[in-house]
Amino acid sequence: MNQLDELNKEQRQAVLQTQGPLLILAGAGSGKTKTVTRKIAYLIEEKGVSPYQILAFTFTNKAANEMKDRVETLLGSSVQGMWIGTFHSICVRILRRYHDRLGFDSQFSIYDRSDQVRAVKETVKELDLSKELFKEKAILSAISSYKNQGIQAKDLDPKSMDNFYDQKIGEIYQAYQRKLRENNAMDFDDLLLYTVDLLKGDEEVRTYYQFHFDYLFVDEYQDTNATQYQLIQLLCQPDPNLTVVGDNDQSIYAWRGADISNILNFERDFPKAKVILLEQNYRSTKNILALANEVIANNPNRRDKNLWTDLEEGQKVEYREYSHSQEENKDVVNQIIQRQHKGYSFSDMAILYRTNAQSRGFEEYLMQEGIPYKVVGGLKFYDRKEVKDILAYMTLLANPQDDLSLSRVINVPKRGIGEGTLDQLRALARQEGKSIFQVMEEMESKDVKIRARKNIEKFVQLIHLLQEKAKEAGISDLMEAVIYETEYAKTLKEENTPEARNRLDNMEELLSAAKTYEEDHPEEGLEEFLTSLSLLSDVDKTDDSQGSVQLMTVHAAKGLEFPVVFMVGMEERVFPLIRSSEEEEEDLEEERRLCYVAITRAKKELYISSARNRLMYGRTIINRPSRFIDEMGSGLERIHAYNTYLEEADQSPRRSSYLQVSKYKGEALDYENKPKKNPDYQSETKKDIRVGSKVRHKKWGEGMVVSLKEKGKDTEVVVSFEGKGLKKLLLSFAPLEVIRP
């Protein structure tokens, strides 16, 4: 296959530029993955480059797998030797090989977010600090910020810090790092930091990798932080064949350390660099792209580019301003039903919001309508308790020094080893400079008074039994032994509740995942399996949930696309979400990039909405429409929103006052003058009306009944009115004339 086929002029230039540094500025939907995979395939097929000489960084396993699969499809052969993966997975490969040079065992554990929270919680307790003042999430955010800037705990001097709180954060960071090292463990940020340390301090290792990889690729370069930037620099040869792909207009992760200057200063860092712009969009209609270009043009600090497309004009982007967020919740769900009747599937549609707190109202109305939905970022399979418990057992078998994994499962299922006993064991371990499990193994020979001694001995025997099985058993067989020998499954079966049965199903699913891994990676063992799971990102853990409306934050939507998108909550203080006036200009630019990302997720239809009054965090706040609405210009069709649910208001007179006045075509409708309830009419009309009936409404004209539902003693009817969309009515409030039953 000719790798230059089906490429536009700029994409072809990027593929053929095989020597020296290259920045591909790829706008949203411009075919960046296609360009990169074609370039890798071209190097292998046309230039005779070995896959072993290529290193490619991505930000998710999903992106890495897609890139690898595409290259293999293009070549018609395997590229097993090529290093392609996330920054973290590439670093793990290097660290597993050179672990001893950093003083770690090769089977070091990798702590995910929940492990980190527990480690920090223990650290705060050990330092005898106030858990009310020193919250785990705030501490981890500060530690991650240090690490993303390349600042290690050993480089800090807490006493030199300005205030008491920062001093204690510095002390917690240092104690937390000691705890991880004692447990032969690293967190996600450590994987990058230790690899940078290794490459900086060990010329032999650095030289080996610099000349092993002749070609480097970095995806989503605008999202790299200071440590990732250093890593790339350390892996580059003096005159590197480095291809980075990114879009400065989609840099939306400053809050987790991403530095947009990395992409803006690429030509300064690599003076011989060439820059190629990919501006042709293959995803969205002309009207959607025009809107995106209008908004992002207001950011002063950017590389100028203008997305364009050969696709159709498409329908205009609609904007509705509601009087209250409850109206917005209801009407968006109403429009979803309408789009579904027009032929879209529920999985074609997504509701995008700025913060997770905004999902609840939409969920309520989706549930009321029986519409399947998925909240992306909710509890994921690998975050479920029973799954993490079984994996903690497996981790303990691989790394008995991991006190955190031991602490998680020592009393799961309950075996009479409580928190008090565990505290005694921790104290002994600290005193002797050993792991908790080592102390437990030596318990028989110790003359110490400790509770649950017999239960401890039984637990040690259990772990020894499983360690023996681990020497010969495969991953799935060992997992089955863990589930059986620990009596985890037995306990759940005896519990015999719906929740327990669901947890048993999840354990079966985990076993299936282990068996699939064994089939796909026959040469790899427990260590590699645990590493692959520990490196899953939120995107990788998320179920695609075919057939469901997707609800997610704009951050979670990055990299996704949908035929129909609803951008909701477009108000000042909500989107843009500006917290600090001192940082407003910089924050605002990122919020605008976030808005640009949201707009460019839509392929065919985009609907934007705001509410003058929004119920959030238990109180109603009054907001102006987002400044981004005005920046969208004349490309936005403003639809006058009105309350389509007046008929329901009389049943709920104590609802928010926004129901008392609504507008329809500019006319004020008074709450007191609404149609009164007429049960007799409802009983008469109910005889004649059915799904498919043609009806007439005095305000909305003729329409067709699409559903009927009992609502207490009343009947709710949904009617599709020509040119007016779907309306929900209660028969006792809204007399309908049946034209044709």
10 Å CB burial of residue 607 (0-12, 13-18, 19+) is buried
Which amino acid is residue 737, in one-letter code? E
Which amino acid is residue 405, in one-letter code? S
Give the residues across from 202 on adjacent strands: none
What is the C-alpha separation between 378 and 386, in angstroms, rounded?
17
CA distances from 12 to 2, 45, 363, 501, 582 (A): 11, 15, 45, 55, 44
Identify the three-state secondary structure at position 39: helix
Catalytic residue of the set 17, 18, 33, 467: 33
Catalytic residue of the set 305, 316, 503, 601: 601
Catalytic residue of the set 220, 331, 540, 590: 220
What is the C-alpha separation between 556 and 575, in angstroms, rounded?
15
What is the C-alpha separation between 303 and 249, in angstroms, rounded?
8
Catalytic residue of the set 11, 58, 60, 250: 250
Respond yes or no: is residue 544 known to be catalytic.
Answer: no
**215-218/54-58 β-pairing:** parallel
Respond yes or no: is residue 601 known to be catalytic.
Answer: yes
Residue 555 DSSP code: H
Identify the CA nearest to 473 among candidates 535, 410, 515, 438.
Answer: 515
What is the C-alpha separation between 535 and 538, in angstroms, rounded?
10
Residue spans of alpha helices (H) in 342-380: 359-368
Annotate 28-54 with b (16+ C-beta within 10 A) or e (fewer).
bbbbbbbbbbbbbbbbbbeeebebebb
Helix axis angle, 488-495 to 385-398, nearest 10°: 160
Identify the CA nearest to 610 among candidates 637, 577, 572, 578.
Answer: 572
Count the Cβ atoms, other than its own, within 10 Å of residue 697. Answer: 17
What is the C-alpha separation between 88 and 293, in angstroms, rounded?
34
Element (H, E) at 296: helix 286-296
* φ/ψ (deg, to 5) at 718: -105, 125
Question: What number of CA atoms fall less than 13 Å from residue 378's CA on the CB side?
Answer: 13
Contacts within 8 Å (CB) and 24+ apart, 681-688:
681/731, 681/732, 681/735, 682/714, 682/715, 682/730, 682/731, 682/732, 685/731, 685/735, 685/736, 685/738, 686/715, 686/731, 688/738, 688/741
Respond yes or no: is residue 220 known to be catalytic.
Answer: yes
Which amino acid is residue 229, in one-letter code? Y
Sequence length of the chain is: 741
> In which residue are the tokens 């650095």 written?
206
Q: What angle do CA 593, 112, 52 make, to 5 degrees?
A: 75
Token reading at 523: 């040469």
Respond yes or no: is residue 660 known to be catalytic.
Answer: no
Token reading at 33: 């993955």
Give the residues across from 411 on adjacent strands: none
Chain centroid to CA 42: 32
What is the C-alpha separation between 439 and 459, in angstroms, rounded?
13
* φ/ψ (deg, to 5) at 310: -95, 0
Catalytic residue of the set 3, 10, 12, 32: 32
Annotate 117-140 with b (16+ C-beta within 10 A) or e (fewer).
eebbebbbeeeeeeeeebebeebb
Residue spans of alpha helices (H) in 410-497: 419-432, 436-441, 453-470, 475-485, 488-495
Token reading at 26: 């790829």
Catalytic residue of the set 219, 249, 587, 591: 219
* Torsional class of 576: left (φ above 0), alpha (ψ -120 to 50), beta (otherwise): beta
Transcribe 599-625 into DSSP letters.
Answer: HTTEEEEEEEEEEEEEEETTEEEE-PB
Q: Whole-angstrom distance between the N-terminal and C-terminal Cα of the chain?
A: 61
Which amino acids are annotated catalytic?
32-33, 219-220, 250, 601
